[in-house]
C-alpha cells in the first residue's frame, strides 16, 4: 500500500497532467502561426500565376474556413478537437483534402516504425555492450581504438554523416539508392524482390542512425561502467576473489544497465514521431517527412495528428518505464 501511495499514484497523476497539457499545447501552437492554412493555400495559387478577383478570394477563404471549422471560436474548436481525439479522428488533411489525417499517418507509420525499431534495438545492444567492455577493460588496445572512433564520431552533426554516406555509397560507389522507400514504379507486395528493394533503400538511413547512436550510447555506457566499477561492492567482490566474469556480468553490467533501460524507453517513443532529419535527407516516406511537409504547408490537422500521437507515445512509454523500473531496481520497491 505504501508503494502504491508514494510511487504509483503520483506517477499516474503526472501521466494524465503531462498528457493533457502536452496535447493542449499541440492544439494552440499551430494557431500561433502568422498565416493560416487557408490564406496560405490561396496565396500559393496566386503565386503560381492564377489571377483571382479580390472579392472571389475573400469568398474562397470564407468558404474554406467554414468547411474546416476554422470560422468558429477557438474554444469550440478546442472542445471539438478533444471530442474527435478519442476516436482517432483528426479530420481531413488541409493540403491532401479530403484524405483523413489518420490515413496519411497510417500509411507513413510502418516505414518509420520499421526503420527506427530496428536501429533502436541495434544501437541499444551494440552501444551498451561495447561501452561496457571499454569501461571495464580499460587497458585493452582494441577497445581503446573503438573508444577513440566513438569520440570522433559522436560529436559530428547528423546531417554531415548522412551526406557523407550518400556521397560515398550512392555516388562514388553507387551501391545503394540516394533516397526513397522503394524503387519508383515497383509493385508493392510481399515478394522477396520487393522486400530486398525496401531493405536496400533503408540501408543508408539505418546505417547513419546506427553509427551515431552506437557512438553516443557507447560513450554514455563507458562512463556509467567506470563509475560503477569504483563502487564498494565491486571492490569487495574482487577482494573476495569472485571471478572477473561474474563481477562484470552480475555486479557491474546489471547495475549500469538501469539508466540505459530508461533511455531505451524514451527512444521507443520516437517511433511515432519519426526521425525528421533522417527522413528528409534520405526522402524516406515516414512520419518525419510527413511532418516536415505538413509544417511547410501549415496543415493544422496533420501537424496536430502527428504531434499528438508523439506526445501520447512519449508520456505512455515514460509511464510504462516507471511501472517496470521496480522489476529492474528492487530499491524502488522499498520507497
pLDDT higher at 191 or 103: 103
- pTM given for the model: 0.77
User: Are 268 and 120 contacting, i.e. CB atoms less than 8 angstroms apart?
Assistant: yes
Alpha helices, DSSP H, located in the chain: 2-3, 9-28, 37-47, 54-67, 74-85, 101-136, 141-153, 158-166, 192-228, 232-239, 244-246, 254-269, 276-281, 287-296, 300-328
All domains of the chain in start order, with CATH: 109-298 (1.10.3720.10)
Q: Which of 47-51, 156-160, 212-216 has the lowest mean pLDDT?
A: 47-51
Q: Which pLDDT score, from 0 to 100, does residue 247 have?
A: 80
With CA atoms as reference, report the closest residue to 216 among 260, 151, 268, 145. Answer: 151
Instruction: Reply yes or no on whether the pLDDT at 60 is more than 60.
Output: no
* Mean pLDDT for all residues in the chain: 78
Percent of the chain with pLDDT over 90: 0
pLDDT digits (tens, 9 = 90+) for 15-40: 888 888 888 887 777 667 666 666 66
For residue 51, report the phi and psi dihedrals to the nearest 5 degrees.
-80, 135
Which of helix, strand or coil describes residue 89? coil
Directed axis angle between helix 101-136 and helix 192-228, to 10°? 40
Amino acid at each position: 500500500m505504501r508503494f502504491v501511495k508514494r510511487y504509483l499514484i503520483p506517477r499516474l497523476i503526472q501521466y494524465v497532467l503531462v498528457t493533457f497539457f502536452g496535447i493542449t499545447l499541440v492544439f494552440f501552437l499551430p494557431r500561433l502561426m502568422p498565416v493560416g492554412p487557408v490564406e496560405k493555400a490561396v496565396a500559393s495559387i496566386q503565386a503560381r500565376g492564377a489571377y483571382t478577383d479580390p472579392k472571389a478570394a475573400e469568398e474562397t477563404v470564407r468558404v474554406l474556413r467554414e468547411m474546416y471549422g476554422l470560422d468558429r471560436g477557438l474554444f469550440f474548436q478546442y472542445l471539438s478537437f478533444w471530442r474527435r481525439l478519442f476516436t482517432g479522428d483528426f479530420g481531413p488533411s488541409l493540403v491532401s483534402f479530403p484524405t483523413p489525417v489518420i490515413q496519411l499517418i497510417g500509411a507513413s507509420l510502418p516505414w518509420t516504425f520499421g526503420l527506427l525499431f530496428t536501429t533502436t534495438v541495434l544501437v541499444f545492444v551494440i552501444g551498451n555492450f561495447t561501452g561496457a567492455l571499454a569501461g571495464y577493460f580499460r587497458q585493452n588496445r582494441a577497445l581503446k581504438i573503438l573508444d577513440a572512433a566513438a569520440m570522433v564520431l559522436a560529436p559530428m552533426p547528423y546531417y554531415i554523416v548522412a551526406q557523407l554516406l550518400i556521397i560515398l555509397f550512392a555516388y562514388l560507389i553507387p551501391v545503394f539508392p540516394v533516397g526513397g522507400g522503394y524503387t519508383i514504379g515497383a509493385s508493392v507486395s510481399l515478394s522477396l524482390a520487393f522486400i530486398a528493394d525496401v531493405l536496400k533503400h533503408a540501408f543508408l538511413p539505418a546505417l547513419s542512425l546506427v553509427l551515431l547512436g552506437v557512438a553516443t550510447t557507447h560513450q554514455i555506457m563507458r562512463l556509467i561502467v567506470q563509475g560503477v566499477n569504483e563502487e564498494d561492492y565491486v571492490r569487495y567482490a574482487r577482494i573476495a576473489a569472485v571471478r572477473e566474469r561474474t563481477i562484470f556480468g552480475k555486479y557491474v553490467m546489471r547495475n549500469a544497465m538501469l539508466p540505459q533501460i530508461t533511455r531505451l524507453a524514451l527512444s521507443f517513443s520516437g517511433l511515432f514521431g519519426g526521425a525528421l532529419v533522417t527522413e528528409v535527407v534520405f526522402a524516406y516516406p515516414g512520419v518525419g517527412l510527413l511532418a516536415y511537409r505538413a509544417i511547410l504547408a501549415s496543415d493544422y490537422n496533420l501537424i496536430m495528428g502527428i504531434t499528438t500521437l508523439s506526445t501520447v507515445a512519449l508520456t505512455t512509454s515514460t509511464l510504462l518505464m516507471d511501472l517496470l523500473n521496480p522489476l529492474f531496481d528492487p530499491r524502488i520497491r522499498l520507497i
